[in-house]
Structure 1
Amino acid sequence: MSSPKPPNPIATANAQSGMNTDTALVQNAVNMTNSVGPWGSTTYNPTGSISFTNSQGQTVNIPQYTQTTTYAPEQQAILDKTTKAQDNLAQLAADQSGKMNQYLAKPFEFDNQDAADWSYDLASTRILPQQKQAAADLQSQLTNQGIRPGTAAYDREMTRLTQSNTDQMNQLALTGRSQAFGEAIQTRSQPINELTAFLSGSQVAAPNSGFSATPQASVGGVDYAGLVNSNYQAKVSQSNALMGGLFGLAGAGVSAFAPMKPGR
């Protein structure tokens, strides 16, 4: 009695590959569930197939599907209007960007003298009259205290007031320069900021679809190679058992016909 013939590994692999392909196609078909809701619908339709040659030189055809999403009329209207608005913003951005080369070709300029003049003009209307009044009040105060012009005490007090007024004007000049510089930078950057806003607003964005995700089903593959191997191992075990039984019977037969020794 001969032992079972081992399975052909190439044939087993080919069969397993075919079953895996069948499982994948079934799983794909199960997952392609059409959906319809208040926001629209999603459908799957066959649109041909693709083919490839496997490792054994066989041509395998795989069906192809097209997923189509259709908005409800109200959602489609929102999308059309949004797209139109975004197109308008994109056109504005294109027009503005065309002017940027000429605009940015001129270097940024800031005139310190203009800032100083602006600060002085601001001071002339309010601060300088206050300083003039403070000087007159101090002179009257010193005179009433018997401190006359030309004395060391008089000069010291007037110098203190003059220094205080100078510090006040310097602080005004620094503050005015900082404010004027910031306004100049803002004016310079305004067209660039507008262009950036146009560009960010022109990005394509679809309305809220509200579509739910397609349910995903999982189909377990067939372990054909494992089944073939298990079947082969079972046959081997059965063959071994039969062979063992035959050898046991043969041994028993030999013992039964063995000659008796003398004296027994």
Structure 2
Amino acid sequence: MGKPKAPKPPDPRETAAAQTATNIGTAIANGTLGNVNQVTPDGSLTYSQTGSTKWKDPSSGAFYDIPTWTATQTLSPAQQAIKDQTDAAEKNMATLANSQSARLHDLLGRPLDLSGAPAAGNPNAINLPQYQQYAPGPALQTTLPNTGSAQGVVANAGAIQTSLGNAGDIRRSYETNFDTKRYEDALMARMNPQLDRDRAALETQLANQGLQPGSEAYNRAIDQANRQANDARFGAILNAGQEQSRLVGLSQQAAAFENAAQQQAYGQMLQSGQFANQAQNQRYTQNANNLQLANAAQQQNFNQALAAAGFSNDASQQMHQNNQSTTAANNALKDQSFNAQQAQLAAQNAARAQYLNEMYAQRNQPINEISSLLSGAQVSNPNFVPTQGQRIEPVDYAGLVQNKYQGELDAYRTRQSAASSALGNLFGMLPFGKNVSDRRLKKDITRVGTLDGHSLYEYRYKGEPGGGPKHLGVMAQEVERTRPDAVSSGADGIRRVDYGRLFAAGRKKR
């Protein structure tokens, strides 16, 4: 059981250099794959490597050869013949343009003669119109004579009755718990002596007939007599219940009579209050009608005064509008005269501009002809189709290195956890919960590994059965040579090891 070692982390410079080499190689391969030679009816496109460039990786100092490519475009024979003819034609037209341009020295050397141009219009000859100003508006009536004030308060018609007098309490229950036992006892007191006499007479009669108690005929006669006595008693009980029902009915009738009297008193007081409120409402309605009549008369006077003021203002406004219309008509006549003068001036300027344009056209025509001779037709260039580029994705070398390191680190952590678990098992295997590690008390000893630099053994204690499970631990005599502080001896002379101190100290050393 050796001590696990942590994996060595990857060197960033080495990883970066390897990743750079991978990226450059992938880029060169992608560039080579993208240089697809093409042949079309109008020509061809050919790629060729014409050299290379040395590039130094600043992080690692390694040199890389970066290839240099040249693209050569060649026309088809037919397009090449057209281009040759076009070049010859352009040369001829350029030669003709060169000879014609000699005429421009004399043409441009003479100034334009504008003596025959029509005279331009004189804007100073136009007389500006003198407009009439609009007269101010008439003074309008803005107030009305006093037509009286409207009344806004209705005369008091009296208070409204909002409550009624007390008509008495309503009975919500009546007596129903009448004791019927006394009626029942009275009936039974009258019936029991007769029943007793009838029972004695029956027993005498049965004895005279020679029927003895216990015989079937005797028992049947006695049972019949008992049934008749019970029926009589049940009849008394029913009569007592009927008496109770009669008393309850009387109590209910009395309560209903009292509530009917209370309802009649309440209805009379309610009718009296409603009559008083109807009279008050009638007085209030009469007062409101009188107020509305007075306000209607005041409103009529106000409306007549408002109509008279509006009529006067309308007449004044109409006279003012007539004056404004006359002024606008006079100003429109002046605008018409001014526009006619402007139209005459524009016609003169248009005639002059037309004459100047003709003169400039004569001067520019030779220049335009030479420019036209200098422009020739173009040769159709080949139309190359887009190639379906092939691409190689670069290898994530840095990611692979990191994943490898992470896997080794996870394995290391797993071994560490296993070692800690073995340490916990070691403490749990101590015999009888003690740390007795004296070699003299052990047998069947086998070395199985190391933990924190200390040898571990499997063994059994002397006196244990030979086929029993083995223990795992160290030998006190060996530990005492390197870690005497973790070994102690008791009064019995047996050496014991403090496992907590031994392995805890070992982990602190790491």
C-alpha displacement at 1:219, in angstroms?
1.8
Cα displacement string for residues 200-245 of structure 1 (whole angstroms, at most 9, x for unaligned residues): x15x844142322343222211111111111111111111111111
Q: Equivalents in 2 of 1:232, 1:97: separation in Å?
A: 81
Q: Which moved more, 1:20-29 or 1:51-60?
A: 51-60
Tell me the equivalent position of 1:49.
52
Alignment CA distance shift 1:237-1:97 (3 Å): farther
Q: Which moved more, 1:208-217 or 1:241-250?
A: 208-217
Alignment CA distance shift 1:89-1:212 (3 Å): farther
Match of 1:227 among 391, 395, 400: 400
Tell me the equivalent position of 1:30.
33
Tell me the equivalent position of 1:83.
87
Match of 1:11 among 14, 25, 28: 14
Q: Equivalents in 2 of 1:20, 1:205: separation in Å?
A: 43
CA contact (8 A) 1:33 1:215 kept: no
Q: Could you tell me which amino acid in structure 2 is paired with residue 221 of structure 1?
A: P
C-alpha displacement at 1:102, in angstroms?
6.2
* Structure (1 or 2) with the larger CA radius of gyration: 2
Q: Could you tell me which amino acid in structure 1 is paired with residue 355 of structure 2?
A: A
Cα displacement string for residues 159-205 of structure 1 (whole angstroms, at most 9, x for unaligned residues): xxxxxxxxxxx999766544322210111222332344345x15x84
Cα displacement string for residues 107-126 of structure 1 (whole angstroms, at most 9, x for unaligned residues): 44422xx245xxxxxxxxxx
Match of 1:187 among 348, 362, 384: 362
Unpaired runs of 5+ in structure 1? 117-169
Tell me the equivalent position of 1:157.
none
Alignment CA distance shift 1:171-1:2 (3 Å): closer
CA contact (8 A) 1:93 1:198 kept: yes
Percent of aligned positions with the same letter in both sequences?
Answer: 34
The residue correspondences of 1:112-261 to structure 2 (distance < 5 A) are: 114-115=116-117, 177-199=352-374, 201-202=375-376, 205-257=378-430, 259-260=432-433
Alignment CA distance shift 1:213-1:231 (3 Å): same
* Partner SS, residue 187 of structure 1: helix
| TM-score scaled by length of structure 2 | 0.36
* Partner SS, residue 420 of structure 2: helix
Alignment CA distance shift 1:171-1:33 (3 Å): closer
Q: Could you tell me which amino acid in structure 2 is paired with residue 238 of structure 1?
A: A
Q: Could you tell me which amino acid in structure 1 is paired with residue 6 of structure 2?
A: S
Q: Equivalents in 2 of 1:238, 1:54: separation in Å?
A: 35
Q: Could you tell me which amino acid in structure 1 is paired with residue 91 of structure 2?
A: D
C-alpha displacement at 1:254, in angstroms?
1.6
Q: Could you tell me which amino acid in structure 2 is paired with residue 232 of structure 1?
A: Y
* Partner SS, residue 57 of structure 1: coil
Q: What is the CA RMSD across the aligned residues, in angstroms?
A: 3.0
Q: Equivalents in 1 of 2:7, 2:49: separation in Å?
A: 46
Cα displacement string for residues 122-162 of structure 1 (whole angstroms, at most 9, x for unaligned residues): xxxxxxxxxxxxxxxxxxxxxxxxxxxxxxxxxxxxxxxxx
Alignment CA distance shift 1:181-1:247 (3 Å): same
CA contact (8 A) 2:41 2:382 kept: no
CA contact (8 A) 1:47 1:64 kept: yes
CA contact (8 A) 1:46 1:63 kept: yes
CA contact (8 A) 2:107 2:363 kept: no
CA contact (8 A) 1:23 1:221 kept: yes
* Partner SS, residue 70 of structure 1: strand
Q: Equivalents in 2 of 1:245, 1:37: separation in Å?
A: 71
Higher relative contact order, structure no. (Cα contacts within 8 Å, ≥ 6 residues apart) = 1
Alignment CA distance shift 1:253-1:30 (3 Å): same
Unpaired runs of 5+ in structure 2? 119-344, 435-510
Q: Could you tell me which amino acid in structure 1 is paired with residue 55 of structure 2?
A: F
Q: Equivalents in 2 of 1:235, 1:94: separation in Å?
A: 84
Q: Which moved more, 1:1-10 or 1:76-85?
A: 76-85
CA contact (8 A) 2:79 2:379 kept: no
CA contact (8 A) 2:55 2:64 kept: yes
Q: Equivalents in 2 of 1:172, 1:43: separation in Å?
A: 67
Matched, 1:65 2:69: yes
* Partner SS, residue 210 of structure 1: coil
CA contact (8 A) 2:51 2:69 kept: yes
Q: Could you say which structure has the higher helix fraction?
A: 1
Cα displacement string for residues 36-85 of structure 1 (whole angstroms, at most 9, x for unaligned residues): 23222222222222212221332211122222222111111112222333
Q: Equivalents in 1 of 2:355, 2:65: separation in Å?
A: 74
C-alpha displacement at 1:10, in angstroms?
0.6
